[in-house]
């Protein structure tokens, strides 16, 4: 009982904190040219923040739909690896596996893996995924509606909200690891160099090359 109560607290805390950043995505999506409805549908169906930010970021930069989708799929592909790790732990069967798969994201995986027992892991996963899904979609709507009423949101600099929120999510990990900081700087350097000669949306894919030495090692 103690373990499950702790898992619920962890899931709610992480879910509310991360879910509120959907406001930034809603603002970034409308600024990039999506309608309020399109931003909301993207959050409902895609539901993986990094991929969503990558897609609207490429669109805002004038990138092609193919480049934007490729970046989103590349970032979202890591969730498949999470699913393989969680499959034996969650033990979800039948049609429920489709619902569970939709909730496999960074935060739900992290909370589940941090629990001391399988039962607590399942409770933590469900609580985190459900809380983030509800909060993310509600805050996406709020962010998109608020930005849509501004007329020209680019004048206020709202186009930087998405990247700023993404950096805020990453910052604790970067601050705790020198290797991650070096990889981040290398990736940023590759992206900047690539932006000089490559179309919008492609440099972010090129930046992934920076992690290859770590993967091979």
CB burial of 27-52 (b: ≥16 within 10 Å; e: otherwise) equals bbbbbbebebeebbebbeeebbbbbb
For residues 188-194, give the mean pLDDT.
85
Q: Which residue would you say has higher pLDDT here, 168 or 146?
A: 146
Residue 9 lies in a domain: yes
Domain of residue 40 covers 2-158
Flag whether pLDDT at 137 surpasses 90. yes
Flag whether pLDDT at 134 surpasses 90. yes
Q: What is the DSSP letter of 114?
A: T
Least confident of 6-15, 17-26, 51-60, 89-98: 51-60
Residue 213 lies in a domain: no
Least confident of 13-22, 40-49, 116-125, 208-217: 208-217
What is the chain's alpha carbon radius of gyration, rounded to the nearest angstrom?
18
Residue 180 lies in a domain: no
Q: Which residue would you say has higher pLDDT here, 51 or 68?
A: 51
- Confirm if 95 and 201 have CB atoms less than 8 A apart: no
How much is the pTM? 0.71
The predicted pLDDT at position 165 comes to 56
The predicted pLDDT at position 169 comes to 56
Flag whether pLDDT at 161 surpasses 70. no
The predicted pLDDT at position 54 comes to 79
Residue 55 lies in a domain: yes
Residue 11 lies in a domain: yes
Flag whether pLDDT at 167 surpasses 80. no
The predicted pLDDT at position 123 comes to 92
Can you read off the two tokens belonging to residue 68?
A: 């934007």
Question: Burial, 56: exposed, middle or buried (Cβ in 10 Å; 0-12, 13-18, 19+)?
Answer: buried
Residue 178 lies in a domain: no
How many residues are recorded in the chain? Answer: 217
The domain tally of the chain equals: 1
Q: What is the pLDDT of residues 29-42, one digit of tens each?
A: 888 888 999 999 99
Residue 139 lies in a domain: yes
Can you read off the two tokens belonging to residue 193?
A: 């160099």
Residue 28 lies in a domain: yes
Cα–Cα distance, 124 to 209 (Å, whole number): 33
Flag whether pLDDT at 118 surpasses 80. yes
Cα–Cα distance, 123 to 3 (Å, whole number): 9
Question: Burial, 200: exposed, middle or buried (Cβ in 10 Å; 0-12, 13-18, 19+)?
Answer: middle
Q: What is the pLDDT of residues 81-116, one digit of tens each?
A: 888 888 888 888 888 888 888 899 888 888 888 888
The predicted pLDDT at position 164 comes to 65
Can you read off the two tokens belonging to residue 169?
A: 């999510």
């Amino acid at each position: 009982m103690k373990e499950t109560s702790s898992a619920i607290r962890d899931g709610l805390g992480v879910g509310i904190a991360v879910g509120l950043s959907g406001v930034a995505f809603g603002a970034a999506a409308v600024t990039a040219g999506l309608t309020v409805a399109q931003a909301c549908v993207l959050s409902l169906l895609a539901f993986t923040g990094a991929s969503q930010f990558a897609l609207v970021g490429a669109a805002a930069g004038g990138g092609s739909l193919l480049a934007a989708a490729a970046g989103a799929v590349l970032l979202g592909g890591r969730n498949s690896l999470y699913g393989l790790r969680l499959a034996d732990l969650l033990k979800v069967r039948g049609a429920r596996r489709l619902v569970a798969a939709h909730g496999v994201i960074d935060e739900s995986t992290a909370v589940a893996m941090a629990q001391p027992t399988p039962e607590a892991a399942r409770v933590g996963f469900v609580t985190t995924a459900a809380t983030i899904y509800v909060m993310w979609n509600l805050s996406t709507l709020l962010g998109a509606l608020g930005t849509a009423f501004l007329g020209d949101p680019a004048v206020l600099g709202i186009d930087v909200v998405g990247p700023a929120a993404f950096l805020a999510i990453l910052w604790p990990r970067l601050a705790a690891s020198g290797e991650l900081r070096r990889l981040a700087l290398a990736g940023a350097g590759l992206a900047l160099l690539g932006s000089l000669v490559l179309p919008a949306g492609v440099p972010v894919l090129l930046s992934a090359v920076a992690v290859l030495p770590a993967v091979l090692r």
